[in-house]
Amino acid sequence: MQPVEILKDLLFFQRGYLNANHFALRSSHPVLIDTAYLADFEQTERLLRNAGIDPCAVERIISTHTHCDHIGGNHLIQKMSGCDIALHTIGKHFVDTRDDWSTWWKYYGQQAAFFNVTQALEDGDVLSVGPYEMHVLYTPGHAADGIVLYLPKEKILISSDTLWENDMAVMTIRIEGSSALFRMLASLDKIAGLDVRVVYPGHGAPFHDMAAAIDRARKRLLWFLAKPQRMGRDVLKKIIVYTLMMRGTVGRERFFDDLMATPWFKETLDLYFDGEYKVTYQNVMETLTSRGVVTIVDGRLATTVRP
């Protein structure tokens, strides 16, 4: 997996769906945007070093939000380099107060580590990353502290999890609140007026037709609003797959009980499916296995989705 130099010395690392995509400014004082997932930090470090970036020399990390797949390397890189870390002011509050619930870490059983946030970002801030100006736009919905970064001269949008091309990031109403879908719609409206030639999402490949992606995301949000159970099913499918990516493989017979021991699983089923735990689980797993997203080998479950 080789990074792509999207502008001079600004590198884009496309990862999978467990490790978020990330960026690095290659210089004597490197700047990183997001740092992927903690458990895969060895791979992240290797990718950076192979691209000529010494994690020990990193000057600053800009995090687009505090979910584990975007901040996984923050603690270790800061320990190695003493770098500054910038987050939206809400995310800074989460980290400063060691809130592993609002960050989703405890709720979804994710692996992450706290770090020292040295800069609070606000909507409208302009960050200098080498020769490039990146405008901070606050885009809550998927995450209370979510931001995108816009380079107006280059017409580039680093959209993180605010906008993907053909799908959208999971919406966790239990953490983000019942107005999260409306905030997400407002965030899409906010970025719709930008002059963008290419979008670099938090997951997936870069794409050029931002308007079409926004239209798809908006229609999906309205589809969720029309029947919230659809959103509940989306949460179940995505987080089950994420859990399998995080764990590698798990025994088929114990997986349901493992999920029932987490905060998110039982609450999601209570909220959207009237507590129909086993039946709903079996239905979702049948869907995932029939589509080849989940496999069963020697009594163990795994996912075919690239982490």
DSSP 3-state of 126: strand
pLDDT higher than 80, residue 152: yes
Q: How many CB atoms lie within 10 A of CB 46?
A: 12
The residues pairing with 85 across neighbouring beta strands, listed in sequence order, are 61
pLDDT higher than 80, residue 229: yes
Q: How far apart are the first and last CA of the chain?
A: 13
Mean per-residue pLDDT, 138-144? 98
Instruction: Assign residue 217 a region (left: φ > 0; alpha: ψ between -120 and 50; beta: otherwise).
Output: alpha
- Segment 28-58, tens digit of pLDDT: 999 999 999 999 999 999 999 999 999 999 9
- Segment 183-201, tens digit of pLDDT: 999 999 999 999 999 999 9
Angle among Cα 165, 163, 78 to the nearest 5 degrees reads 120
Confidence of residue 72 (pLDDT cuts 50, 70, 90): very high
pLDDT given for residue 33 in this prediction: 98
Cite the DSSP H helix spans in the chain. 41-50, 68-71, 74-81, 89-96, 173-176, 180-192, 210-226, 228-247, 252-260, 263-273, 277-290
Q: Which amino acid is at 261?
A: A
pLDDT given for residue 291 in this prediction: 96
pLDDT higher than 90, residue 234: yes
pLDDT more than 90, % of the chain = 97
User: How many whole angstroms separate alpha carbon 303 and alpha carbon 84?
Assistant: 36
pLDDT given for residue 2 in this prediction: 87
User: How many whole angstroms separate alpha carbon 69 and alpha carbon 42?
Assistant: 14
The closest alpha carbon to 65, from 27, 132, 112, 29, belongs to 112
- Segment 237-283, tens digit of pLDDT: 999 999 999 998 999 999 999 999 999 999 999 999 998 999 999 99
Q: In which residue are the tokens 């719709």 written? A: 192
pLDDT given for residue 275 in this prediction: 86
Residue pair 277/226 in contact by the 8 Å Cβ criterion:
no
Q: Find the Cα–Cα–Cα–Cα dihedral 231, 237, 240, 244, rounded to 10°.
A: -140
Residue pair 255/301 in contact by the 8 Å Cβ criterion:
yes
pLDDT higher than 80, residue 202: yes
pLDDT given for residue 221 in this prediction: 98
pLDDT higher than 80, residue 215: yes
Mean per-residue pLDDT, 135-154? 98
User: How many whole angstroms separate alpha carbon 208 and alpha carbon 191?
Assistant: 14
DSSP 3-state of 127: strand
- Segment 113-122, tens digit of pLDDT: 999 999 999 9
Confidence of residue 286 (pLDDT cuts 50, 70, 90): very high
pLDDT given for residue 306 in this prediction: 85
pLDDT given for residue 22 in this prediction: 98
User: How many whole angstroms separate alpha carbon 65 and alpha carbon 42?
Assistant: 21
The predicted model scores a pTM of 0.96
Instruction: Assign residue 23 a region (left: φ > 0; alpha: ψ between -120 and 50; beta: otherwise).
Output: beta
pLDDT given for residue 85 in this prediction: 98
> What does the block give as tokens for 183?
């905030």
Residue 249 phi, psi dihedral angles, 5° rounding: -135, 160
- Segment 157-169, tens digit of pLDDT: 999 999 999 999 9
Confidence of residue 295 (pLDDT cuts 50, 70, 90): very high
User: How many whole angstroms separate alpha carbon 223 and alpha carbon 54?
Assistant: 45
pLDDT higher than 90, residue 307: no
Average pLDDT value over all residues in the chain = 96
